[in-house]
Amino acid sequence: MRRYIIACSGVGERWGNHLGVPKHFIKIDDEPILHRTVRLIRQKDKNCEICIMAFTDNYKIENTILCKPTLFKNHYSLPAILTSKEFWGEEETVLLFGDVYFTEHAINTITNTKSNEIVFFGRRQKSNITLKRYGELFGIYFTKKNQDVLLKVLNILYNKFQNRQIPRFGGWELYGFKDLPKSFVEIDDLTDDFDFPQDYYDWIKQYNLFKK
């Protein structure tokens, strides 16, 4: 069975509880983006498990599992792919980020992905659709077969980060590790994440333009 982990355990400092909600509960067409992601996954992959990785009970959604991370004291400075390892699936795992608005096309692409490699979903460069000026990672797929090599690379990067050999430890650092068996699926549509309030307002303008 495939397990989807939707990461919502970041501190959200850059968003700052704008609009009076954590960014995972931003409403697009009256539906919080986290609820939208869960709904679309359920439509496309009816026999999966969905784990929402968060610290508070308000993230519990019907027919999902609320997973509260316990392994790292410095949780907020580490990538979700590492802090979620206690929740990885027995067969296939897809880690998605809870602050992302996913199009139906993007979720369809992700739910239909099967590979012997670790697959990164994202956009390598700026978008001419959302006008975001830099690339983004939206999710990662891997199987039980890949877990050992993935964890090995994550531990190497974690130790380098702890010893200040690298200034940042995130998804792009993992993707850039040369010995990782990986591929990249480009998603360049209205799919995007919201780090800052301005990201949301810029995206809304484009959304209203493209949805017409």
Give 7's strand partners.
53, 97
What pLDDT was estimated at residue 92? 98
In this prediction, residue 212 carries a pLDDT of 56
Concatenated DSSP letters of 159-198: HHHHTTSSS--SHHHHHT-TTS-EEEEE--SS-EE-SSHH
Total-model pTM: 0.95
Contact 134, 198 (CB under 8 A): no
Q: Map residue 65 onto helix, strand or coil.
A: strand
The pLDDT value given to residue 73: 78
Q: So what's the pLDDT on residue 164?
A: 94
Question: Three-class SS of residue 51?
Answer: strand
pLDDT along the chain (212 residues), means of 10: 94 81 95 98 96 96 95 85 96 97 98 97 95 96 97 96 94 95 97 94 93 66
Alpha-carbon span 53 to 67, nearest angstrom: 5
Please tell me the predicted confidence (pLDDT) of residue 154.
Answer: 97
Domains present along the chain, CATH in parentheses: 2-210 (3.90.550.10)
